[in-house]
Chains A and B, each alone.
Chain A
């Protein structure tokens, strides 16, 4: 008789099975508990005898890594995968994250041997197709934004912010104003990456308050502007799901003050093909390929954050960049002799993501990109219309962009918090919306359905939230406080994890 594996504990409220499994929801040990030092799922050839050239640096101590055979490995990761929610399984209304359909054609294209199996440092004469692909993607992005230059290399949205702000800092230095322009204006409602990026580059942050309607007004910007200001970092449409009405006046005021306009492009999904950031007066904007152009989010990346630049910032773009030399494309990899601010990452950026984004763009065409944006906005407003009588909107009932923002005013007195409401959504089969962001709204609930949802899907979602809202108001507290009741795990103790961090498995645990 075998002992039960150690990972199967006695539960405080034990599910009524011996294994801890609940049908298809199967418990899975850590590889360190199930694996063996000698087990392997690959056949690696043993080399013939040879004289090593490691000097005195050959490893002498064991590593301690477990191995699993191939069947065990398959089962381990398949079981783990079934504990994840995903966009392919259901509506994923995370505001500002744009969880849209991920076409599998993109995956197939990214795995073409001639695109996946090429090395960043092989001779450019043997990678002309890759450079052509990057050029084509650049053309699409420049056309959609009406900007003049592009840096493809940033590896994520936040990395793109860093790139754009580096270009701005370099431009300011080139004008001899590096010592005076040390302040970056950032609205209260901005993503946390914006102030973090500014601070990383030695800027201090001056917060611009939002008006009562949730947008930034030109007067507030003008008041904050001065000869010490390097740039503004503004998101449009903003994180409250609203189009910044004063955007053109704000850009003019910023430029008049000798500063630059960085636009956080996180919400480009609302306007791609409908309006061009270059026409707002944007000097730099990152484009989250994983959001607007649907490269899969992969449980937290990889992303890709190309940055488009205005004519004024174009000379400062990072290396590498592509140059056309007659029929041939070349790569400029050395910043020496240019005004380029340098290199952001070892190689050319997220090629695998470029392929996926271009496949998506080609499939949509210029017409389809515009339709996607409009449908995203339509879907968000449809959700707003379906919920406006049962939930509250912090800035009143007005048209939103591709995401709709509610607050927790309507939950007041119910004993149900935003978090409880979100966890109850899990029991109904939905991934919760973005919670507690933007920070300017109490108990914020930011819902972004995207253009990928059918009307029937939206109708069911709205009906479900209405049922939950009614239950909350009628005092059915247990449904919320106890939630989630039907997920692979009940409420996880995040405080314990932070107070007593256990960040790795230890032998003898």
Chain B
């Protein structure tokens, strides 16, 4: 009860001032039948030490990525986060503030969101970005809805290289919003012929690069085909660090670029909270979902920042709003922008190179393991192996040997007949001994 500042004497005095006998009298509008008459069957309050004990014991039952050779990716990546990032996001003024509705006393949040928007636009090669979304998958679904609004068409074509969970999120919202989706088959080698499927009924084509199997995709011809048919190209990425080394979607003609920003500044967190990135062209900004920070001046003419273009939002447009979203991932966006500021262009480029180098080194070692085939011609820090046997069983056996080897494709695409495929991610966090441990555990297992 240490969080409650009122004493019983305070409560008595307050009740007297209000003019009621007890707190129950304040609940007089609630039908008596709905008020609890006995305490719920829940444990009583615990001391700080006891809470720590309970949660530490739960934590100890999990294998932390930093404790083992770790190669799991497929949409979330183990990267090193500098200590200053976590220190800064824990400053009270960032951590315990609300949405910056009062710009005069929220300039800290508003300025970093403005800086974040600029960084995301630069990184993706687009003109404008919003102040973040929940995560990459929901940002993808929002991009599809935005394409529907812009084209007045209601059918999306999803590449077979799109992260299967992202595709499921799009399908879920589409089915329930009574929109249509056309799906390409899973595409481990990145060779599908999307262009042949593009026609005048599509609002957008959704393509991921690097795709879920790790292949880099040239979006330029797809963008051209989309534009010939009046459709938009939605480009997706799940590994933001890749943008330090590969051609950004904006330079290949994408109209909307969405992705997951977890890789920069944010922990794995068992899947969340993460930070969705969303960028587009200036001409589409009024159909963009989510929050936007903009520049203005105050009454003294000083440069100031403020939330803007809110006439698109649910609190003004209600059932005509561009989305139902009324928040963003503010703190995760802050972590992203701090880490990216620390890296700068020089640091990000180097980090991306190191990721790629480590992945290439690992791929070259694994290619030599008898029975193992590397499917990718190109990749950034993640690639797909064909393994002799059931990848899920191999991963489980290797986990027992203390190596987390990757994501079996069957976990993402159960029943697709891809049980012998394994996604392997390698970042700067992997050292030589981790790669050696992977190879020897794999050889032992096969």
Contacts and interface: CB of A to CB of B under 8 A. Distances in A.
Contact of A57 (B101, B344, B346, B378): B378
Nearest to A301: B327
Interface string A276-318: 1001100000000000000011111111100000000000001
Interface in A484-501: 484, 487-494, 496-498, 501
A346 B163 contact: yes
Contacts of A63: 122-123, 243-244, 248, 345, 348-349
A265 interface: no
27 contacts: A40-B342, A53-B363, A55-B216, A63-B123, A63-B345, A70-B82, A81-B93, A85-B97, A87-B92, A122-B72, A195-B318, A201-B177, A299-B106, A301-B134, A352-B272, A362-B43, A362-B50, A365-B43, A370-B36, A377-B26, A378-B23, A455-B6, A489-B107, A492-B296, A493-B297, A503-B285, A504-B118
Interface string B139-154: 0000001000000000
Interface string B82-98: 10101010111111111
B396 A123 contact: yes
B435 to A, nearest CB: 13
A367 B414 contact: no
A328 B346 CA distance: 47
Given A333-B411, A346-B163, A88 B96 contact: yes
Given A191-B315, A200-B324, 15 more contacts: A111-B267, A114-B62, A118-B268, A123-B396, A158-B325, A275-B27, A299-B334, A303-B327, A346-B163, A346-B169, A367-B1, A378-B11, A378-B18, A501-B285, A503-B293
Interface size class of A (residues with CB under 8 A): 35 or more
Interface string A93-107: 010010101110101
B4 A362 contact: no
A352 B89 CA distance: 14
A426 to B, nearest CB: 6
Contacts, number: 737
Interface in B263-315: 267-275, 285, 291-306, 308-311, 313-315
Contacts of B260: 346
Interface in A373-407: 374-375, 377-379, 381-382, 384-386, 399-401
A223 interface: no
A86 B332 contact: no
Contacts of A64: 122, 345
Contact of A54 (B19, B72, B313, B378): B378
4 closest A-B pairs by CB: A67-B344, A347-B271, A114-B59, A298-B331
Given A170-B176, A192-B314, A501-B309, A399 B28 contact: yes
Interface string B29-67: 111011110011111111010111011111111111111
Contacts of A280: 34
Contacts of B201: none
B404 interface: yes
Contacts of B127: 504
A452 B3 CA distance: 7
B105 A484 contact: yes
Contacts of B328: 300-301
A250 to B, nearest CB: 11
B37 to A, nearest CB: 11
Given A157-B326, A300-B131, A119 B76 contact: yes
Given A89-B92, A119-B72, A363-B2, A345 B138 contact: yes
Nearest to A375: B6
B330 A117 contact: no
B407 interface: yes
A351 interface: yes
A46 B129 CA distance: 31
B308 A109 contact: no
B354 A365 contact: no
B357 A116 contact: no
Contacts of A196: 314, 317-319, 321, 323-324
A60 interface: yes
B4 A426 contact: no
A143 interface: yes
Contact of B102 (A39, A58, A273, A431): A431
B294 A116 contact: no
B342 A42 contact: yes
A130 interface: yes
Interface stretch (B108-116, B192-200, B223-231): B108-116
B172 A166 contact: yes
Q: Considering residues A66, A119, A490, which has the most beta carbons from chain B within 10 angstroms of its beta carbon? A: A119
Contacts of A271: 30
Contacts of A114: 56, 58-64
Contacts of A491: 104, 298-299
B40 A366 contact: yes
Interface residues of B, number: 215
B395 A492 contact: no
A279 B101 CA distance: 35
Interface in A451-485: 451-455, 457-458, 484
B302 A44 contact: no
B15 interface: yes
B186 interface: no
Contacts of B117: 503-504
A159 B88 contact: no
Contacts of A299: 94, 97-100, 106, 108-109, 330-331, 334
A365 B44 contact: yes
A498 B316 CA distance: 14
Contacts of B161: none
B445 interface: no
B306 A116 contact: no
Contacts of B271: 120, 346-349, 351
